[in-house]
Amino acid sequence: MASATAPAAAVPTLASPLGQLRHLAEELRLLLPRVRVGEAQETTEEFNREMFWRRLNEAAVTVSREATTLTTVFSQLPLPSAQETQKFCEQVHAAIKAFIAVYYLLPKDQGITLRKLVRGATLDIVDGMAQLMEVLSITPTQSPENNELISYNSVWVACQQMPHIPRDNKAAALLMLTKNVDFVKDAHEEMERIAVEECDPYSGLLNDTEENNSDNHNDEDDVLGFPSNQDLYWSEDDQELIIPCLALVRASKACLKKIRILVAENGKKDQVAQLDDIVDISDEISPSVDDLALSIYPPMCHLTVRINSAKLVSVLKKALEITKASHVTPQPEDSWIPLLINAIDHCMNRIKELTQSELEL
């Protein structure tokens, strides 16, 4: 006869507190790909912008509070028990998932540019919390290095940025256009800095070396990292080619500035698709400028400069065409657009002239 006493159910063993933190970090990182590709939640309800932003800010405050609580209990001894840690981890996980759920409530018809910004902020918060879990799981918890990492953890910074995210697609578009203007401005300044240097940018250093140690400077050149061949300097042809390249980048900066002004003055919040198209093509200008800027460093390949210039010109003209056809340009015949196109064509024609010999080789 079987015993009436049933065997006791096995009680699951909880991982150590630090092990649970590491596991939570892994779980949070698994959420990142889903956020990157996740679509907006389908709903028949009319989107309430004010309610959405209030809920998103509240969710960010909750995440920040949970991060602070967990940091406090794991930055001192004794560490919480396995059962207490489980509760803390569940609260953190719930706070993160709640934040992601609010993000999914932002529909596409509010603008792709706006959604990208909110998605980026969401990814920063999730990734920042995962980093925090990894830092807290490192022992000893009282080490100065660990505390310094915790103090500057990005999860709090990401949460604090939520109230500053643009609230509509026009504001989001202006933010992205401003960033692109700054990127191209930096690239242009860097190119100008390079262009004003002497053909041998190390000549002063080499002369100092010769004066201080004229007997053995040739042996030390390689050790000190000084250039020892003309391939690292510009030829006269290189310097001549840089001039229209700089002019083309200046035209790129002017193009972005003009587009930003048009969006600021004439952009309509409800024309989200056109604003998204303008931002999408404008986002291609800065990387194209960077490619051109990198190609002028010595040793310069004129064919590469020509190719990268042509790519930039193509992007600029497309950006101008999209902007001209959109609602932000109430007068498409505005003279600045054809003038800018003429300037771009002039730069490209000059670059073609100076690089024609490369095609004939």
- How far apart are alpha carbons 356 and 173 in whole angstroms? 39
Q: In a 10 Å sphere around its CB, with 0-12 CB exposed, 13-18 middle and 19+ buried, how is residue 93 labelled? A: middle
- How far apart are alpha carbons 268 and 174 in whole angstroms? 12
- How far apart are alpha carbons 112 and 119 in whole angstroms? 10
Least reliable range by pLDDT among 73-82, 89-98, 108-117: 73-82
What are the residue ranges spanned by the domains of the chain? 17-165, 173-199+233-359
Q: What is the pLDDT of residue 147?
A: 57
Pick the CATH number of 173-199+233-359 from 1.10.3720.10, 3.90.850.10, 1.20.1410.10, 3.40.630.30: 1.20.1410.10
CATH topology assigned to domain 17-165: A middle domain of Talin 1 (1.20.1420)
- Confidence band for 69, pLDDT divided at 50, 70 and 90: very high
For the chain, percent of residues with pLDDT exceeding 90: 63
- Confidence band for 309, pLDDT divided at 50, 70 and 90: very high
Least reliable range by pLDDT among 42-46, 105-109, 228-232, 264-268: 228-232
> Position 130: which residue type?
A
Contacts of 140 (CB under 8 A, 6+ apart): 146
Entry pTM: 0.81
Q: What is the pLDDT of residue 14?
A: 76
Comparing 149 with 140, the larger pLDDT belongs to 149
Query: Length of the chain in residues, anyone?
Result: 361
Q: What is the pLDDT of residue 44?
A: 66
When pLDDT is averaged across residues 161-177 and rounded to a whole number, the result is 96
When pLDDT is averaged across residues 133-154 and rounded to a whole number, the result is 66
- How far apart are alpha carbons 135 and 147 in whole angstroms? 9
Q: Residue-wise over 318-327: b if at least 16 C-beta within 10 A, else e?
A: ebbebbbebe
Residue 62 has pLDDT above 80, yes or no: yes
Quote the mean pLDDT of the chain. Answer: 85
For the chain, percent of residues with pLDDT exceeding 70: 80
Please measure the distance between the N-terminal and C-terminal CA atoms of the chain and give it in whole angstroms. Answer: 98
When pLDDT is averaged across residues 228-243 and rounded to a whole number, the result is 77
Residue with tokens 């981890």, as numbered in its chain: 89
Give the tokens for residue 242. Answer: 């840089």
Query: For the segment 3-58, what is each residue's pLDDT rounded down to a tens digit?
Result: 555 554 444 677 888 899 999 999 999 999 999 987 777 676 788 999 999 999 99
User: Do the domains spanning 17-165 and 173-199+233-359 agree at the CATH topology level?
Assistant: no
